[in-house]
Chain A
Amino acid sequence: MSSVPNLAPALPEIFLAIIGMALLMVGVFQKKTDNDGEVRNARMISHLGVVAFVLTGLLVFTVSGPSLSTFSGMFISDPFAVYFKVLVLIASAMALIIAQDFLEQHKIAKFEFTVLLIFATLGMLMMVSANNLLSLYIGLEMQSLALYVLASFHRDDMRSTEAGLKYFVLGAVASGMLLYGASLVYGYAGTTDFVLLAQLFEHSPETGSSLGLIVGIVFILAGLSFKVSAVPFHMWTPDVYEGAPTPVTAFFAVGPKLAAIALFIRVMVGPFGDLVGHWQQIVVLISVASMLLGAFAAINQTNIKRLMAYSSIGNVGYALIGLAVGTEAGVRGILIYMAIYLFMTTGAFACILLMRRGGRMVENISDLAGLSKTHPLVAAALAVFMFSMAGIPPLAGFFGKFYVFMAAIEGGLYALAIIGVLTSVVGAYYYIRIIKVAYFDEPGDPLDADVGRNIALVIGATSLAILLFFVYPGVVVDSAAAAAASLF
């Protein structure tokens, strides 16, 4: 008989799960006499959700320290996991803050939104801490299932339901591929535990190069590529991003990507680290294809949400350069890149949420014309985000790309670095075009003047973070270095 597992390393997850269920109960049993009562209820639960994310973040810091694994090795808490958990929690909290006004305007303010977001975040935390192919899959499924529902949360809107259904069907296929790959790996290696797999491949390289195992790894790679929306598994991204309610899209572009990239790194570097020769070329290919598609397909877009979707595909390409290098410097580069990406993207989506005319959302880039006259501060913040995404120094986006490209050059992948620089030049065209529209185009009908307090707060915080990153980069760079070191 074994004793009770050590619950301390999983404290943030346990706390978040309990809070999620508690908020569900509070929401359900709250008296909702009329529509106003329901909105008030949803708003209260949403505030409580933000508080829960902050508290969970504090709990994450209490478990930061040496690597600890629990639940018979299924769950690991190390500096790498702590780093990504903090980022994911920031992403979720900001998504929740900017969502509430939108939901109320579209009459879909229901408290379940917060509950689903909490469970999606819980799934992400579990993904980040996964130390076994089984816990990887369970975390991924928990995240995805909540996200499918969130994508079609605006259920009376055709595009939203279409987005949810598309995401569900394609996501299920990707999960199936991942699971098939995991079963092949289990069949050929005899274990699903990451630590045991790493030891196995270290001591018997011939097991690692058996064909069935390689096929399994390729399937796992394909499943994970879908979740980070890397080319050639990106087809769902523009449609889902366009159709889903905008705050949900803002969350999709950040939270799940962070968690899936973390999983990608942990799986490839951890158990399959000794097989780097087998998967490196695949990651290089995925990375190059994503960068190219992200740069060229975005040029023709008129819908800003679709443009952001292609931009996120391109950004994943840049991040995967660091993984293709397969070194500690490369992983550190991804970690810095993703932290900066989180703030840029959330800020940009907060600006997109303000694109309303007569109370209705408008989503064309041309609708931004005259933004600098009507909303000078928002236009300035948007310019900061776009310049940062284009990689103009001294904004944060430049440093993100800098660390990744440096790692590629140190690792000898010159071609990858050169393609990366070239595609970011192409990307700069459409990012800067948005600034041009906002500042220099003839203004049409002005956008609605009211900027909600919540959205203003998020825009202010993220734009300051991007602007002032170069003043004190150490806080991100050092923790990223510590997190990357814990993997090797």
Chain B
Amino acid sequence: MIIQGLAFYMFAAIAIASAVMVISSRNPVHSVLFLILTFFNGAGLFVLLGAEFLAMILVVVYVGAVAVLFMFVVMMLDINFVELRQGFLNYLPLGAMVGLILLTELLMIVGGWHFAPEATIVGLVPIPEGVTNTQALGMVIYTDYIYLFQAAGIILLIAMIGAIVLTHRTRSGVRKQRISDQVKRRPADTIELVKVEPGKGI
């Protein structure tokens, strides 16, 4: 129990600290790296909660895709972050208000638990006996909902085909490297021996 407690405080503290660093570091690349650190710590918290599937998804989707995308945007586009931060004080009241509303909402939810303790029980989904929740999810998706799951896959395939059909153009004049053509090239095809008479050009 004490190890779990320690682990929780470690993950929580690092998550909060790196979240603060995300918005306060001067270099945007550092911001993205701190964001990834935050995600990893969030995943750690999920593992502590027994939701290992969520933890895996968080790492795979957020670290693997979203953060890399952010990094891509930050490095590819020349966004002047100093300029973006200039209106900080002007927007502070608005930001503070949004933060306050969020805080009130959180307090209301937690306050609700205080007055009606049975509400927390209702909100919990029963964890199936004897299997991990990854296995339980897989059993539902691949047995009861296999039809919908596969059909959804085909829909994504259609979306991909559609995007390619509507946007892909074969431009003329682009020199592509074709390895097979290069390998097939024979000296006879390309080298021409010309006998040059002495004293004359070609």
| A residues lining the B interface (CB < 8 Å) | 1-2, 5, 10, 17, 21, 24, 71-72, 74-75, 110, 112, 115-116, 119, 122, 126, 134-135, 138-139, 141-142, 145-146, 148-149, 152-153, 155
12 more A-B residue pairs beyond the given contacts A135-B147, A145-B155, A155-B165, with a C-beta to C-beta distance below 8 A: A17-B154, A24-B161, A72-B144, A72-B145, A115-B161, A116-B161, A119-B157, A119-B161, A134-B145, A138-B148, A138-B151, A152-B166
Given the contacts A149-B166, A152-B166, A155-B166, A142 and B151 also touching, CB distance less than 8 Å: yes
Contacts of B145 in A (CB 8 A): 72, 134
Neighbour of B162 across the interface among A5, A74, A148, CB < 8 A: A148
Given the contacts A5-B146, A74-B148, A134-B148, A116 and B162 also touching, CB distance less than 8 Å: yes
State A112–B155 Cα separation when bound (angstroms): 15
State A156–B62 Cα separation when bound (angstroms): 37
Number of CB contacts from chain A to chain B under 8 A? 66
State A436–B143 Cα separation when bound (angstroms): 60
Residue B158 CB within 8 A of the other chain: yes
Neighbour of B147 across the interface among A74, A146, A152, CB < 8 A: A74
Q: Which residue of B lies closest to A126 (CB)?
A: B151
Contacts of B154 in A (CB 8 A): 17, 119, 122, 142
Residue B98 CB within 8 A of the other chain: no
- B147–A71 CB distance below 8 A: yes
- A112–B161 CB distance below 8 A: yes
State A311–B10 Cα separation when bound (angstroms): 69
Contacts of B165 in A (CB 8 A): 110, 112, 116, 149, 153, 155
Residue B159 CB within 8 A of the other chain: yes
Contacts of A122 in B (CB 8 A): 154
Contacts of A110 in B (CB 8 A): 165
Q: Which residue of B lies closest to A2 (CB)?
A: B143
State A26–B157 Cα separation when bound (angstroms): 16
State A431–B61 Cα separation when bound (angstroms): 57
Residue B152 CB within 8 A of the other chain: yes
State A74–B151 Cα separation when bound (angstroms): 12
- Taken residue by residue from 111 to 128, chain B's Cβ proximity to chain A (1 for < 8 Å, 0 otherwise) reads as 000000000000000000
Contacts of B152 in A (CB 8 A): 138
Neighbour of A149 across the interface among B139, B146, B161, CB < 8 A: B161
Ranked nearest first, the 3 interchain pairs of A and B with the lowest CB-CB distance are A149-B162, A71-B147, A112-B165
- A146–B162 CB distance below 8 A: yes
State A155–B163 Cα separation when bound (angstroms): 12
Given the contacts A2-B143, A155-B166, A149 and B158 also touching, CB distance less than 8 Å: yes
Q: Which residue of B lies closest to A142 (CB)?
A: B155
Q: Determine how close the nearest CB of chain A comes to the CB of B66; give it in whole angstroms.
A: 24
Q: Which residue of A lies closest to B152 (CB)?
A: A138
- A142–B166 CB distance below 8 A: no
Given the contacts A2-B143, A112-B161, A139 and B166 also touching, CB distance less than 8 Å: no
Contacts of B164 in A (CB 8 A): 112
Contacts of B143 in A (CB 8 A): 1-2, 5, 72
- B162–A145 CB distance below 8 A: yes
Neighbour of B158 across the interface among A10, A116, A139, A153, CB < 8 A: A116
Q: Determine how close the nearest CB of chain A comes to the CB of B163; give it in whole angstroms.
A: 9
Q: Which residue of B lies closest to A108 (CB)?
A: B165
Q: Determine how close the nearest CB of chain A comes to the CB of B184; give it in whole angstroms.
A: 14
Q: Determine how close the nearest CB of chain A comes to the CB of B182; give it in whole angstroms.
A: 16
State A119–B145 Cα separation when bound (angstroms): 20
State A146–B159 Cα separation when bound (angstroms): 8
State A74–B161 Cα separation when bound (angstroms): 27
16 of the cross-chain contacts (CB-CB < 8 Å) are A1-B143, A5-B147, A21-B157, A110-B165, A115-B161, A122-B154, A134-B148, A135-B148, A138-B152, A141-B155, A142-B154, A142-B158, A146-B158, A149-B158, A153-B165, A155-B166
State A10–B157 Cα separation when bound (angstroms): 20
Q: Determine how close the nearest CB of chain A comes to the CB of B161; give it in whole angstroms.
A: 6
Contacts of A75 in B (CB 8 A): 147
Q: Determine how close the nearest CB of chain B comes to the CB of A180; give it in whole angstroms.
A: 19
State A381–B50 Cα separation when bound (angstroms): 70
Q: Determine how close the nearest CB of chain B comes to the CB of A483; give it in whole angstroms.
A: 23
